[in-house]
Amino acid sequence: MKLNYLLLDVFTTTRLAGNPLAVVLKADGLLDDQMQAIAGEFNLSETVFISKPKSDRHAAAVRIFTPQVELPFAGHPTVGAAVVLGLQNRSTAVRLEEKIGVVTCVIERVDKHVGHARFALPQLPEEIGKAPDKLAIAETLGIAPEDIGCGLYQPAVFSAGVTFYLVPVRNAAVLKAIKLERRGWEHVYPAGHGSVYVFTETPEERGIDFAARMFSPGMGIGEDPATGAAAAALIGLLGRFAGPGQTEFKLRQGYEMGRPSLISIQLRKDGDVLTHGGIGGHAIIVGEGTLDLGD
């Protein structure tokens, strides 16, 4: 069996920046354990497998794997898969069948290698638990307890399909200074895969509203350059303090890793109720190849 694949950098228009993604094409017939093994072989934060959809109204079915687990939803694989299908089929919109449900993506072609995709969240974020105390969080991140908290924001646990511990910190200098202590990580962060999204406001950075870093040892990811599912969870916390109507933010991630990424976030509130969340970003194709899985 031979399968073609593409390599993309997502949430960027610059090659060798953003979050790398492997997109395996025509993956019909692969077993679950084969997909997981291939994702482990690529050893990227995520690998996405594209196959025929169940409904003729949809462009493709999509499965998303980290090196260790399958995810029902993730942002950078959704953007990457949508851009690939949009460029290949010259489409301006695609519907993707993901484990979480159908995700509708609007696509803009930049050139034959670059596109932009944005989509409404298939599941609005919900607060699903209580955050650890600041001392425990500080010990896992190698920062001081008084560095935790930023403006109106305090630690919280939200999910828009994937659970994240959201940890606001005082400023970008604290964000940059994080040094992980993985001992006891599972005890401090027991929910989901123990994924932590640390963020801060960036009033001194022109055109950037927030900066973030994501750590998820439980997914087989030390640090992720750009995490759309975490940004989707963050919409829940941002929405708590946003005014009515539509608000848009720009969030940077991956800068501390040398993989700068830019994620667009949209939210809308009708009165006090969050009624819409959206994620957007660019993707660029940087390579292609063939997997040879033998007979």
- Of 47, 75, 69, 98, the residue nearest 281 (C-alpha): 75
In the chain, the amino acid numbered 58 is H
For residue 61, list its beta bridge partners. 51, 97
d(CA 67, CA 218): 10
d(CA 158, CA 149): 16
d(CA 203, CA 50): 40
Residue 88: partners with Cβ closer than 8 Å, 6 or more residues away: none
d(CA 228, CA 143): 25
Question: Do 17 and 259 contact (CB within 8 A), yes or no?
Answer: yes
The one catalytic residue in 46, 98, 201, 223 is 46
Question: Do 21 and 8 contact (CB within 8 A), yes or no?
Answer: yes
Question: Do 104 and 95 contact (CB within 8 A), yes or no?
Answer: yes
According to DSSP, residue 157 is labeled E
In the residue annotation, 41 being an active-site residue is answered as: no
E strand residue ranges, 110-242: 114-120, 126-129, 156-159, 163-168, 196-201, 210-216, 221-224
Which helix (H) or strand (E) segment holds residue 145: the answer is: none
Catalytic residue annotation: 46
